[in-house]
Amino acid sequence: MTSIARHVRVDEVIQDSPATMAVEQNRKMPICEPGRAEIDPISDLSLDGVTKQYNDTVAVREMSFEARPGEFVSFLGPSGCGKTTTLSMIAGFQSVSTGMIHIRGRRVDGLPPEKRNTGMVFQDYALFPHMSVGENVSFGLRMRHVPKDEIRRRVDAALALVRMSSFADRRPSQLSGGQKQRVALARALVIQPDVLLLDEPFGALDRQLREQMQFELRTLQQSVGITTVFVTHDQEEALLLSSRIAVMNQGAIEQIGVPTEIYEAPATIFVAKFIGKSNFITGTVVSATGGGTSIDTAIGRITLPSPKQGAVVAGQSIECMVRPEKVRIVRPGATLDGEIHARGVVQQMAYHGASTEVILRLAGDVEFAILQSNRDMALVADIVSVGKEVDVAWPRAAMLLFINGRRWG
Amino acid sequence: MTVMVAPVTEIAANRTEGARRWYALARVSIAAYVFFAAVFLTVPVLIVILVSFDTADYVQFPPSGMTLKWYARIAASETWRTAIVNSAIVGVGSTLLAVVTGVPAAYLIARRDFRGRNALLALLLSPLTIPWVVFGLAILNFWGAANLPRNLFAIIVAHSVIGVPYVVRTCLAVLVNISPSCELAARTLGADQKRAFMLVILPMIQMAIISGAIFCLLISFINVPVPLFLTTASTPTMQVAIFSQMLSNTDPTVAAVSTIQLAMILLAFYIGQRVARLGDFL
């Protein structure tokens, strides 16, 4: 509740102060560009040109980013992309080589972890085995010399929040994975941290429990209104939980945006390949005018409306991408106007229950995946089987173009 | 196929029969081995205990009568009393010193990555591999060269060096299984480095520390060669006193002292087992 109140105050500040108008302007600009030196003094967390260098390797490169109050930001990327290093630098476990970190406008990159007021949940929960659940949760308050009766009140409230009130006297070893995680969350939240840091907290849980805990975490995070940074390599988790996702690769943010943006409009080939499945068809630009761009590909000539920004020249190599679920299998001659179509031989079919994945081999040996709901699949079941040739089609708008690894448009 | 089945089953049956015999033989051999090992370990000790209560003026077996006079003689003897007190001082002092140096060393080795970490570990564990006689001679020479007095403190230092590997090993065994995130969690919750160690790490390794300390104490009690080099007439330890008594004297006082010492060691083990499940670290 306190956080929601703070949220309101922050909004009032934005409205009242002319000085912050510029900040508002800045916010609309891309946040992830390297080297950009904008600090929003009222963001809950900001990284500004943060670099982490070990001897001659760079783990995190010129990273700038900010989290707005109440936001749930995920760092998503393959292992070794620098996401955990970034989290460690925010928490204070590792120093920054260059750059600044601010938490609620306070510069923290020179402070030890205990002075940063962050709450952290670790992958292995890191509960203290020699303390009871209640003692674990009260630890942070005891470190802060909070009066005894207030400690009791706040610990009770925190345990109630995660529905663990009746477990206060248990030892961590007597808890299940999900219960341990709830306790770890209560322990992190009870100190009313400025930001909540989550380091792959669902990694150790089985699938069903993981989904339940994800739902609980999201509900809790929203009701408490705490700014949260979440590190994961699980794209589904990131898409499900985040207000924004920062996709990281080789120590830098490739793209930062809301989940639909990341999925529907990936900024780079890396993001397109890392999030969800994607089909790439390589082509060569034949002509590009205001009216449209023609591309020669293995499946024939494709003509698409030219994006407004950026220009290409004839002869340039270009990657065309479409998501498997945007493609549908059609009966011969049943394609619609304005659609791109192709023909391929069914290589494999994988039944997923609600959907079926069909792998085609298109002309020019292009492998092509299609994800079709089983309701749609039923309509074409008679013409689709392994070894048969089928027609597929997808809307022009579903085709994304990439030049030199970056999306055109 | 049916032709193949019969011989295969037969072979399997034979093999099972053979294996059964082999296991029976192995069981008997192991039982015999354990029995004789136990006999060789305990019977001499039991004889010493019996002899310490014997009325005869020399060590003999079987004993001829029951008396506590040898124990009374020890209690009355200034030399023996000093030796026992010295052993206690050396044992406790060297154990404390080994804990105070061994625990931080184990922590550094488990948690920090620094140049020479493996070298430090090897150095700390090396007393396990150096013969005590060699070490005793070495420390005597060192002490002489440094012009330091050969007092109890010299023995305490020497024994702590010998005891440190036990503390380091028991602590390391536990520390490597404690997730580093426990300490980091304590830090984010507001504990500085010192408090994180004192409130989180120390309670988690306290059993290992107690176990290591008891090993130190025992090693100090049973050590003859090192104090042999370092003691003077005024600073004998129990072991040295027993050793020199044995050379000149054959009455059962030595057996009585040995029995007292045995009782002390068993008590330490018993306490260690009850408090810190010492057996886990053996």
- Written as six digits, the tokens of B185 are 């969690």
- Number of other CB atoms surrounding residue A7 within 10 Å: 15
pLDDT at residue B12, rounded to an integer: 55
Of B190, B199, B200, the CB nearest to A114: B190
pLDDT digits (tens, 9 = 90+) for B193-214: 999 999 999 999 998 999 899 8
**Alpha carbon distance B281, B208 (integer Å):** 8
pLDDT at residue A298, rounded to an integer: 86
Read off the pLDDT of each residue in B26-33 and give the average, rounded to a whole number. Answer: 93
**Amino acid making up residue A291:** G
Chain B residues within 8 angstroms (CB to CB) of chain A:
179, 181-182, 184-193, 195, 199-200, 203-204
3-state secondary structure of B269: helix
Residue A330 gets the label, from left (phi > 0), alpha (psi -120 to 50) or beta, of beta
pLDDT band at A22 (very low <50, low <70, confident <90, very high): very low
pLDDT at residue B52, rounded to an integer: 87
pLDDT band at A12 (very low <50, low <70, confident <90, very high): very low
pLDDT band at B254 (very low <50, low <70, confident <90, very high): confident
Q: How far is B165 from chain A (nearest CA, A)?
A: 26
Residue in chain B nearest A191 by alpha carbon: B189
**Amino acid making up residue A128:** F
Angle CA B143–B149–B150, to nearest 5: 75
- Number of other CB atoms surrounding residue A127 within 10 Å: 25
> Among A335, A392, A336, which Cα is nearest to A359's?
A392
**Alpha carbon distance B223, B240 (integer Å):** 9
Q: Do A144 and B190 touch (CB under 8 A)?
A: yes
Query: Which residues of chain B neighbour A143 with C-beta distances below 8 Å?
Result: 189-191, 195
Q: Do A144 and B188 touch (CB under 8 A)?
A: no
- Number of other CB atoms surrounding residue A210 within 10 Å: 20
3-state secondary structure of A231: strand
Beta strands at A118-121 and A72-76: parallel, antiparallel or unpaired:
unpaired
**Amino acid making up residue A50:** V
Asked if the peptide bond before residue A307 counts as cis, ω within 30 degrees of 0, the response is no
Contact, A125 vs A181, CB < 8 A? yes
What distance lies between CA B107 and its chain's CA centroid? 22
Beta strands at A195-199 and A227-232: parallel, antiparallel or unpaired:
parallel
pLDDT at residue A21, rounded to an integer: 37
pLDDT band at B58 (very low <50, low <70, confident <90, very high): confident
3-state secondary structure of B235: coil
A110, with CB counted inside 10 A (0-12, 13-18, 19+), is exposed
Query: Which residues of chain A neighbour B205 with C-beta distances below 8 Å?
Result: none
* Domain ranges for chain B: 77-281
- Written as six digits, the tokens of A361 are 């081999």
Chain A residues within 8 angstroms (CB to CB) of chain B:
91-93, 112-114, 116, 118-120, 122-124, 126-130, 139-140, 143-144, 184, 187-188, 191, 193, 197
Of B188, B192, B204, the CB nearest to A120: B188
Is the four-CA dihedral A166, A170, A172, A175 of positive or negative sign? negative
What number of C-beta contacts closer than 8 Å exist between A and B?
A: 65
Q: Do A126 and B189 touch (CB under 8 A)?
A: no
Instruction: Name the one residue in this structure whose structure tokens are 């037969």.
Output: B10
Strand-pair partners of A245: A74, A257
**Alpha carbon distance A287, A318 (integer Å):** 12
Angle of helix A177-189 relative to helix A148-161, nearest 10 degrees, comes to 130
Contact, B189 vs B182, CB < 8 A? no
Cβ-proximal residues to A247 (8 Å cutoff; 6+ apart), any chain: A76, A77, A253, A254, A255, A256, A262, A270, A271, A274, A275
pLDDT at residue B57, rounded to an integer: 80
pLDDT band at B14 (very low <50, low <70, confident <90, very high): low
**Amino acid making up residue B127:** P
pLDDT digits (tens, 9 = 90+) for A26-62: 333 333 344 444 444 568 899 999 999 988 889 999 9
- Written as six digits, the tokens of B238 are 């129990």
Q: Which of A52-61, A332-341, B49-58 has the highest mean pLDDT?
A: A52-61
Q: Do A112 and B192 touch (CB under 8 A)?
A: yes
pLDDT at residue B15, rounded to an integer: 66
- pLDDT above 50 (res A2): no
Structural domains in chain A? Answer: 29-117+193-267 (3.40.50.300), 277-330+337-407 (2.40.50.100)
**Alpha carbon distance A408, A272 (integer Å):** 13
pLDDT at residue A26, rounded to an integer: 39
Query: Which residues of chain B neighbour A180 with C-beta distances below 8 Å?
Result: none
Q: Do B188 and A130 touch (CB under 8 A)?
A: no
Average pLDDT over chain B, rounded to an integer: 86
Strand-pair partners of A75: A231, A246
Query: Which residues of chain A neighbour B191 with C-beta distances below 8 Å?
Result: 114, 139, 143
pLDDT at residue A9, rounded to an integer: 36
pLDDT digits (tens, 9 = 90+) for A205-249: 888 888 888 988 999 999 889 999 999 988 989 999 999 999 999
pLDDT at residue A17, rounded to an integer: 38
pLDDT digits (tens, 9 = 90+) for A75-112: 999 988 999 999 999 999 999 999 999 999 899 999 99
pLDDT at residue B9, rounded to an integer: 52
Q: ipTM beyond 0.85?
A: no
Give the phi and the psi of residue A397 in degrees, each rounded to 5: -65, -20
pLDDT digits (tens, 9 = 90+) for A174-206: 999 889 999 999 999 999 999 999 999 888 788
pLDDT digits (tens, 9 = 90+) for B160-195: 999 999 999 999 999 999 999 999 999 999 999 999
Of A128, A140, A191, the CB nearest to B182: A128
The DSSP 8-state label assigned to residue A258 in this structure reads -
Angle of helix B202-222 relative to helix B152-175, nearest 10 degrees, comes to 140
Read off the pLDDT of each residue in A124-149 and give the average, rounded to a whole number. Answer: 95
In CATH terms, the superfamily for domain B77-281 is MetI-like (1.10.3720.10)
Q: Do B191 and A188 touch (CB under 8 A)?
A: no
Rounded to whole angstroms, the maximal C-alpha distance in chain B is 89
- pLDDT above 60 (res B4): no
pLDDT digits (tens, 9 = 90+) for B88-117: 899 999 999 999 999 999 999 998 888 999
For testing the chain A interface, which of B188, B192, B198 should be mutated: the one with the most A CBs within 10 Å?
B188
What distance lies between CA A317 and its chain's CA centroid? 30
